Structure 1
Amino acid sequence: MTTAIAARDELKFGVLGPLTISAADGSLMSLRGNRLPALLTELLFHANRWVTVSRLVDVLWGDTPPKSYVSNLHTYIHRLRCRGIPIEQVDGGYRITVDVASLDLLTYQAESEAGREAARRGDYETAARCFRTALRQWRSANMCAIDQPHLELEAARLETERVTIVEECVDAELACGKASELLGELDMLVRQYPLRERFAAQYMRALAATGRRAEALRVYQRSRHALVEQLGIEPGRQLRQVHEMILNGQ
């Protein structure tokens, strides 16, 4: 048997940064302690999908749950429901049900997929717009700010995915002829992620497109040095190809 509770009108959640819960009037709801935020964040990471009790127990207590973990978990769920948070129960698990517009993670995922679909069609203007909307959902790379290893792993996975979306967004905007607009952002990204060859290749392409070929070649040398010094490898095919194209004046 499934039990559910109606959500408070227009309650919105944010997990792409520290956890936030906001009402329709913009007021923020706070949750005391560490376990309630951890429990809600785990459910939101898997919004509209069932999360098993064993998974929630792992998130809340790790390998040393108390003997009363079942009743404790029920108490925490009850406290969240009393705040108007829509959590359903079924044998073996729980689910929070929210729509795309009510959770930044779902908005981010929907816009990212729309961007990728547009890019596959060759509609780079739409792709870039969708990617930027997706990336605006991120308030901070410091997701959750909750001391729970299980949540940290999920946050790290999402951060890695975010960086990939940034790369795809830059590719779309370069295809739209926005090289000069991207120079400042790419300079920052190359400094922040010196071992991500795609950012270096994109920066080189943007510099070359704006007539700054010598600077583009210096970016290649810096990137190659970082790869050799830190990883013991030479640049990959993509970076080498961009380097060769710039050397050949293409």
Structure 2
Amino acid sequence: MTTATIDRTANDELKFGVLGPLTVSAADGSLVALRGTRLPALLTELLFHANRWVPMSRLVDVLWGDTPPKSYVSNLHTYIHRLRGRGIPIEQVGGGYRITVDVTGLDLLTFQAEADAGRQAVRRGDYEAAARHLRSALRQWRSADMCAIDQPHLELEAARLETERIAVVEECIDAELACGKAGELLGELDMLVRQYPLRERFAAQYMRALAATGRRAEALEIYQRSRHALVDQLGIEPGRQLRQVHEMILNGQ
């Protein structure tokens, strides 16, 4: 892809990505350039709260923290003007700003919509549909390396979104296990348990998948490995869910 450096009109269809490094792409696939750190930080914060009002005080915190310049109001207006000049639809609302984006125009909104659809399918007992929607949600993530911009406030929000992503991974695996896909999940679960050794739900899911494929001894080894990690690093015993899966496997269920 080429990087666009010209201004664009508000009629251009822009697509935004925040689930990974920030991207702004035009309808022809070219990338819209946002130089420096202030413009990307400002746009990222607005996109994290797309279609919602963000107060000026919050934007000032993101851009300058506790030491804003005396001219922060005019500086902020200048940055907003520059973003608008690239066709980015930002409107002033009261004492703040809002960016209006369609669900399909922002990966974060698509992620949230697909995750919600997956959870609704789970409540209906339609695990096939749930798995499809939840996997679609996870495909929106290009990278867990969000907010390469050095802005502490953005890093906190990125961490919150990463927590949401992990929760969707857990829900997706539960749905796929309910669909009888244990064998297909073994490689992914092995990686997840190694990456997140203190997340008991991943360990329980891996144990269930191993047991479902006839590998009960390995499932029990995963329990012992998880228990040791919890005791050594947190000083706690496994929780109820992990213990129940352990007991079911011991009883041959």
Q: TM-score range by the shorter chain?
A: over 0.9
What is the aligned partner in structure 2 of residue 57 from structure 1?
A: 60
Structure 1 residue aligned with 2:246, among 233, 236, 243? Answer: 243
- Matched residue of 1:66: which SS? coil
Kindly provide the amino acid, as one letter, of the partner of residue 119 in structure 1. Answer: V
Structure 1 residue aligned with 2:182, among 155, 179, 199? Answer: 179
Alignment of 1:1-250 (within 5 A): 7-250=10-253
CA RMSD of aligned residues (A): 1.0
- Matched residue of 1:145: which SS? coil
Looking at structure 2, the residues matched to 102 and 151 of structure 1 have their Cα atoms a distance apart, in angstroms, of: 21
TM-score under structure 1 normalisation?
Answer: 0.97
List alignment gaps of at least 5 residues for structure 2: 1-7
Looking at structure 2, the residues matched to 70 and 122 of structure 1 have their Cα atoms a distance apart, in angstroms, of: 52
Contact 2:138-2:165 within 8 A present in 1 as well: yes
Contact 1:6-1:86 within 8 A present in 2 as well: no
Return structure 1 stretches of 4+ with deviation > 4 angstroms.
Answer: none
Percent identity among equivalent residues?
A: 87
Contact 2:22-2:147 within 8 A present in 1 as well: yes
Kindly provide the amino acid, as one letter, of the partner of residue 138 in structure 1. Answer: W
List alignment gaps of at least 5 residues for structure 1: none
Report how far residue 172 of structure 1 moved: 0.1
Looking at structure 2, the residues matched to 115 and 221 of structure 1 have their Cα atoms a distance apart, in angstroms, of: 32
Looking at structure 2, the residues matched to 231 and 132 of structure 1 have their Cα atoms a distance apart, in angstroms, of: 31
Looking at structure 2, the residues matched to 113 and 12 of structure 1 have their Cα atoms a distance apart, in angstroms, of: 21
Report how far residue 91 of structure 1 moved: 2.3
Report how far residue 9 of structure 1 moved: 2.2
Looking at structure 1, the residues matched to 226 and 121 of structure 2 have their Cα atoms a distance apart, in angstroms, of: 30
Kindly provide the amino acid, as one letter, of the partner of residue 199 in structure 1. Answer: F
Report how far residue 98 of structure 1 moved: 0.5
TM-score under structure 2 normalisation?
Answer: 0.96
Contact 2:9-2:86 within 8 A present in 1 as well: no
Counting matched residue pairs gives 246
Contact 1:119-1:172 within 8 A present in 2 as well: yes
Report how far residue 6 of structure 1 moved: 7.0
Kindly provide the amino acid, as one letter, of the partner of residue 111 in structure 1. Answer: E
Looking at structure 2, the residues matched to 214 and 247 of structure 1 have their Cα atoms a distance apart, in angstroms, of: 9
Looking at structure 2, the residues matched to 245 and 103 of structure 1 have their Cα atoms a distance apart, in angstroms, of: 43
Contact 1:8-1:85 within 8 A present in 2 as well: no
- Matched residue of 2:16: which SS? strand
